[in-house]
Amino acid sequence: MKVFLGACAIAGVLVTGSAPVVAEQYGSPKADNTERNVRDRDGKTLTPMDQGGSAADRDVTAAIRKAIVDNDALSTNAQNVKIVTVGGVVTLRGPVETSAEKATVASTAEKTKGVKHVDNQLEVKTK
């Protein structure tokens, strides 16, 4: 993978005559998800890989996702939160823009048929 990315960077220089621009050049902070990645690796936090395999769990997740994506009042972040359903228990994770979005996403999940409980781990983005 590193070889491929290196080749792409070299190709970008050859085609455009200049090196690719990165966010750090404009003073934007470098993305650092180290803490989240460590948290997710510890085996205690549900990730999409833990999604229940039953048809009922898949249907619940799909219904929640559809309802969230269909809500145009929600930000892209809110529409892309992680939804993991295991045995009817829904875990919501990821960033949202406001506490109102956090409540809306959780409420949408709670109203979905087949949901026994919602574990709301959504995080309101800090500016």
Question: What string of pLDDT tens digits covers the 127 residues of the chain?
Answer: 555 555 555 555 455 555 555 555 555 555 555 555 555 555 667 666 667 789 999 999 999 999 999 999 999 999 999 999 999 999 999 999 999 999 999 999 999 999 999 999 999 988 6
Q: What is the pTM of this model?
A: 0.66
CA distance 101 to 59: 23
Strand, coil or helix: 104: helix
Which domain, by its residues, includes 66?
Answer: 46-124
What does the pLDDT read at residue 125? Answer: 86
Instruction: Please report, for the domain that includes residue 73, its CATH number.
Output: 3.30.1340.30
For the chain, what is the domain count? 1
What does the pLDDT read at residue 53? Answer: 83
What does the pLDDT read at residue 126? Answer: 82
What does the pLDDT read at residue 6? Answer: 53
Q: Is 9 a domain residue?
A: no
Q: Is 96 a domain residue?
A: yes
Q: Is 21 a domain residue?
A: no
Amino acid at 119: D
What does the pLDDT read at residue 102? Answer: 97
Q: Is 31 a domain residue?
A: no
Q: Is 26 a domain residue?
A: no
Q: Is 27 a domain residue?
A: no
What does the pLDDT read at residue 16? Answer: 54
Q: Is 89 a domain residue?
A: yes
Q: Between β-strands 117-124 and 89-96, what pairing exists: parallel, antiparallel or unpaired?
A: parallel
Q: Is 94 a domain residue?
A: yes
Amino acid at 60: V
